[in-house]
């Protein structure tokens, strides 16, 4: 059994994860519009990963005899000034998600909900990777600046990412 307070907090996080998927899918469409297929494919894989995060919370809440309650998903942005601006926004978004996860962990601790804390430990580790991978791409894009060749190389590298 889970408290109403934690149930509400987990439902909010399901929405955050689905919004993340929506945001990255919107970024994927933006990259397709620039003919940067590798960037677009990376973002599509990221969107799929976000849906799997949403489903982890979904199943956990159900297993804990909570009620999953889906909310409206916010409309994501559609345009960015540059690939660097899009990845900077993605990195900032991951920092926001990390702080949501940390807050959930604190709330679970305050109620001694140990199963939720254990479940969240996976996400705490995952967020370290999520922030680091976005930060690396921001760094690489900052290095190449306006070089078409540099952008092409990153595009090729990102296109090699496998989904999941």
Q: Which stretches of the chain bind ligand FEO, using CB under 6 A?
A: 17, 20, 50, 53, 94, 97, 130
| Residue with smaller CB distance to ligand FEO, 74 or 147 | 74
| Residue with smaller CB distance to ligand FEO, 7 or 50 | 50
Q: Would you tell me how many other CB atoms lie within 10 Å of the CB of residue 124?
A: 14
**Smallest separation (angstroms) from ligand FEO to the CB of 8:** 19
Q: Which residues contact 132 (CB under 8 A, 6 or more apart)?
A: none
Q: Taking CB positions, which residue lies at the least distance from ligand FEO?
A: 53
Comparing CA positions, the residue from 48, 59, 41 lying closest to residue 22 is: 48
**Smallest separation (angstroms) from ligand FEO to the CB of 34:** 22
**Smallest separation (angstroms) from ligand FEO to the CB of 2:** 20
| Residue with smaller CB distance to ligand FEO, 122 or 152 | 122
């Amino acid at each position: 059994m889970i408290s109403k307070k934690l149930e509400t907090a987990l439902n909010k996080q399901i929405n955050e994860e689905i919004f993340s998927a929506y945001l990255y899918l919107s970024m994927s469409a933006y990259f397709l519009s620039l003919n940067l297929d590798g960037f677009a494919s990376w973002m599509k894989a990221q969107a799929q990963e976000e849906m799997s995060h949403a489903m982890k919370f979904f199943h956990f809440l159900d297993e804990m005899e909570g009620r999953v309650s889906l909310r409206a998903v916010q409309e994501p942005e559609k345009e960015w000034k540059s690939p660097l601006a899009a990845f900077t926004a993605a990195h900032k978004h991951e920092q926001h998600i990390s702080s949501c996860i940390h807050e959930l962990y604190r709330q679970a601790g305050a109620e001694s909900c140990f199963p939720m804390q254990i479940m969240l430990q996976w996400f705490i580790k995952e967020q370290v990777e999520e922030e680091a991978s976005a930060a690396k791409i921001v760094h690489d894009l900052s290095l190449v600046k306006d070089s078409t060749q540099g952008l092409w190389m990153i595009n090729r590298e990102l296109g090699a990412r496998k989904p999941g």
